[in-house]
A and B are shown apart, each in its own frame.
Chain A
């Protein structure tokens, strides 16, 4: 079975603080992809990053960075110097290789509130 767990339901920080959102996944597939999406108050999910199971390089994009560790089945997301505009619900998702449905397995989501 495939599963994604985001243990942090809600996080509240003050602007300019760094914050890390945790994501732990389970899969028996050897080939899989991990995704992060942001859901602002408007509702749509905005794609942030994709990582395949063979690429464990960390990635940085501006204030965002991602740490992928297969040994611990984790794909954590860090926002540096958080801003009020970062306030949103963030979802980690998994797509495995055992089916060709394109189905994404989502975590429960982490609500991030950045206070001014």
Chain B
């Protein structure tokens, strides 16, 4: 079945550590996105990539980094510079960035700082 796979489902990070969240899609989509979800705030865009080897900052990119070396993969690293990383992280993909193109989402990774 085609879809988006995020791993791990739950992740615990110690203060000062970098952690990487995995996102893989087999939908052959060009565009991929990372969103952060906090209670009562909806989803906010962290980074997006419209094509392999290219990515752009979203609204809340500080403290995060990404890479897009393969079409199917868009990992997100939460660095120690991210002051409040505890949140639910959702990866999405779409066939393009045209206005009417729907986005498909993974099941998310819940990151907790301990």
> Are the CB atoms of A96 and B99 closer together than 8 Å?
yes
| Contacting residues of chain B (43-92) with chain A, CB-CB under 8 angstroms | 43-45, 48, 50, 56, 58, 88, 90, 92
Please count the residue pairs between chain A and chain B whose beta carbons lie under 8 angstroms apart in the complex. 72
Grouping DSSP codes into helix (H, G, I), strand (E, B) and loop, the A interface class, with mixed when no group exceeds half, is loop
> Are the CB atoms of A104 and B43 closer together than 8 Å?
yes
> Are the CB atoms of B50 and A102 closer together than 8 Å?
yes
Count A interface residues, CB 8 Å: 29
CB-nearest residue of chain B to A45: B105
B residues within 8 A CB of A33?
Answer: 99-100
Q: Pick the residue among A37, A42, A102, A106 that contacts B31 (CB under 8 A).
A: A102
> Are the CB atoms of B108 and A108 closer together than 8 Å?
no
Instruction: Tell me, yes or no, whether B17 is within 8 Å of chain A by CB.
Output: no
What is the CB-to-nearest-CB distance from A102 to chain B, in angstroms, rounded to a whole number? 3
A residues within 8 A CB of B88?
Answer: 43
Q: Pick the residue among A35, A46, A102, A106 that contacts B97 (CB under 8 A).
A: A102
| Contacting residues of chain A (94-108) with chain B, CB-CB under 8 angstroms | 95-97, 100-104, 106-108
* A residues neighboring B (CB under 8 Å): 4, 6, 9, 31-33, 35, 37, 42-47, 50, 52, 91, 95-97, 100-104, 106-109
Q: A47-B104, A103-B58, A108-B42 are in contact. List 7 more A-B contacts (CB 8 A).
A: A44-B108, A47-B103, A100-B97, A100-B98, A101-B48, A101-B56, A102-B48
8 pairs, CB–CB < 8 Å, chain A vs chain B: A37-B105, A43-B88, A44-B107, A45-B90, A100-B97, A101-B56, A102-B96, A102-B101
